[in-house]
Amino acid sequence: MLVVEDDAPLREFYRTTLRNADYRVVAVEDGLDALTWIDQHTSDIIVLDLSLLRVSGSDVQRELRAHSETRDIPIVVVTGNDTSDLHERELACVLHKPVTGEALVDVVDRCLKRSLLGIGALSRRGAEL
């Protein structure tokens, strides 16, 4: 799982919460780092903040959807902004800030279950990266 969050305390909260729920987690701080990481690795799911420096979360999402290798990766969008302009079919799930640990794990679990990519791959193996 890839977590993309530019706020260091939130990034650590997401990473710790998801690791405690037995997910393998890699966390990066911005959209450019996320795209670089995805070019070199695979991920079952991405937890993505929309408001990022250098490359926005919306741009990351568009870039991933533009390529056949990454278009089906479920994305949990985490935002403090209005998401009424986003289409359900474009997103696996949306979380509105502030996010609780319970809500984060619940949405990730639900999104993985909705995705064929979540069956088997990295989900809940308990190992940490």
Which residue type occupies 58? Answer: S
To the nearest whole percent, how much of the chain has pLDDT over 70?
Answer: 81
Work out whether strand 26-28 and strand 75-79 pair parallel, antiparallel, or are unpaired: unpaired
∠ Cα 97 102 107 (to 5°): 70
Q: In the CATH scheme, what architecture does the domain 2-118 have?
A: 3-Layer(aba) Sandwich (3.40)
- Please enumerate, as own/partner, the contacts of 87-90 that have beta carbons within 8 Å and a separation of 24 or more: 90/61, 90/65
- In the DSSP assignment, the letter for residue 56 is -
Domain ranges of the chain: 2-118
80: confidence class by pLDDT, cuts 50, 70, 90: confident
pLDDT at position 88 is 52
Res 39 pLDDT > 80: yes
